[in-house]
Amino acid sequence: MLNNGVIPDNAGQAVSAELQLQTRSESFAGKLLLFIITVLMCIGIAIVYSSGAGWAENKYSSPEYFLWRQLVFSVLGILTVILVAQIDYHVFWKTSKILLFASILLLTLLLALKAVHIISGAARWIGFGPMKFQVSDFAKYALIFHFSRLISEKQSYIRDLNNSYYPLLTLLMAVVALVALEPNFSTASLIAIVGFMLMFIGGIRIRHLLATFSLFLPIAAVFAITATYRLDRLRSFSSGDEQKLSYQVVQALIGLGNGGLFGLGIGASKQRELYLPLSYNDFVFVVIGEEYGFIGAVIVIALFVGFFICGLIIAKHATDNFGKYVASGITMAITLFAFINIAVACHLIPTTGVALPFISYGGTALIFNSLGAGILLSISRHKKRIQAKSALPADTEGIVT
């Protein structure tokens, strides 16, 4: 029994040991996470140059066009990770509502510009010249921030249908519908999955989630087959005849087959030579498998598995619910996008336009994913910040007497 706020030596030592163990595990997870991100970006620079040189020379008359841009994006990404890791992640609690409604406004603006024919084709990018960014990337993180805040605030009545689930579902469906209408069905589906997983982790009744899923699944299926190109992808995937596979799938499978166990060697990919469309973006994993073989492909998969485990450790030891849900959402989003990209390259699921995080060519996704990684590091370091600022000794802080 504790009397007059005095902590027995054995109790204090046990608490101190537990806090030290948690801090060490978080610190290790954060350091390993930073190492994994750095390795993935380095792989991205090498692979984007290898896979995009032919396309860059053909389109921009410079084989190094994608190389230098990816190098700049990667440097900016590392700086973003380091800078964001230094700030208190609770700033996203304070700004989550503004960020989410700003993303909804931008998504609506894109559709309005498309309706008046200012934007032709898919309405996914906004900005001018080199200062363009993909709004769905912004919306994905804004949704994670605000969902994490709302789920944290509603914990005392999280199972209430009217005051908890319906407001969350309304926000999620608003973002998903706007992204789907760009059209960007694959990204919209993945955002929906992340949103439902956050609600499940937050304590929403599973029967409510399953009922909603069973209701919206037929709607999503109908929407998926309304576009000819999406229907063709589904037909190609479900066909048992190799001759009916899409050109992209055939070239991807050839590339992975060429790699064998150890690969053809750095820069020796054959499919990159204008055979495989978007070999530097959506199908970058194929070039990894072709040049570095099965071993190289497994290493990349292992890096993303490591990212996932580090993210879960950080989420588990977060100092508050907001940090736990943000870390969970970011970890799920990045690893889910990685899994989908790799699965498409291996012909495990129908073709979708999803980039491989930290590796595929492109500035917007890399910077936003770097922001997410930086927030994970910020969450992992928050306990140390609290201990450093507190006037109480680290081994007695937070003990209830």
pLDDT digits (tens, 9 = 90+) for 203-261: 999 999 999 988 888 888 887 777 777 777 777 776 655 555 677 778 888 888 888 88
Question: Would residue 192 count as lying in a domain?
Answer: yes
pTM reported for the whole predicted model:
0.88
d(CA 350, CA 181): 20
Fill in the DSSP letter of residue 118.
S
Give residue 176's identity as a one-letter amino acid code. V
pLDDT, tens digit (0-9, with 9 covering 90-100), for 274-319: 677 778 888 899 999 999 999 999 999 999 999 999 999 999 999 9
Which of 260, 270, 340 shows the shortest CA–CA distance to 292?
A: 260
d(CA 299, CA 100): 36
Give residue 5's identity as a one-letter amino acid code. G
Question: Would residue 234 count as lying in a domain?
Answer: yes
Question: Would residue 8 count as lying in a domain?
Answer: no
Which sign, positive or negative, has the C-alpha torsion 309, 134, 349, 257? negative
Bridge-partner residues for 134, per DSSP?
A: 125
Which of 279, 259, 292, 262 shows the shortest CA–CA distance to 345?
A: 279
**Tokens found for residue 76:** 């900016």
d(CA 131, CA 28): 36
pLDDT at 399: 40
Cα angle at 47 between 135 and 327, to 5 degrees? Answer: 45
Give residue 127's identity as a one-letter amino acid code. G
pLDDT at 397: 43
pLDDT at 233: 74
pLDDT at 130: 64
pLDDT at 358: 95
d(CA 77, CA 129): 20
- What are the two backbone dihedrals, phi and then psi, of residue 3, each rounded to the nearest 5 degrees? -120, 135
Question: Would residue 249 count as lying in a domain?
Answer: yes
Give residue 398's identity as a one-letter amino acid code. G
Residue 193 CB-half CA count within 13 A: 16
- What are the two backbone dihedrals, phi and then psi, of residue 357, each rounded to the nearest 5 degrees? -55, 135
d(CA 149, CA 322): 6
**Tokens found for residue 331:** 């970890």
Place of tokens 């166990």: 261
Give the number of domains in the chain. 1
Question: Would residue 2 count as lying in a domain?
Answer: no
Question: Would residue 401 count as lying in a domain?
Answer: no
Does an H or E element contain 19, and which? helix 9-60
Domain residue limits at 204? 19-389
Which sign, positive or negative, has the C-alpha torsion 210, 347, 176, 332? positive
Bridge-partner residues for 3, per DSSP?
A: 6
CA distances from 209 to 161, 167, 215, 314 (A): 11, 13, 10, 26
Question: Would residue 32 count as lying in a domain?
Answer: yes
pLDDT at 7: 42
d(CA 358, CA 370): 8
pLDDT at 322: 96
d(CA 216, CA 305): 30
d(CA 177, CA 166): 16
Question: Would residue 305 count as lying in a domain?
Answer: yes
DSSP string across 244-288: GS-HHHHHHHHHHHHHTTT-S-TT--STTTTTSTTTTTTTHHHHH
- With a cut of 70, which residues of the chain have pLDDT below it? 1-25, 128-130, 238-245, 273-274, 385, 387-401
Which of 242, 100, 273, 265 shows the shortest CA–CA distance to 171?
A: 100
Give residue 152's identity as a one-letter amino acid code. S
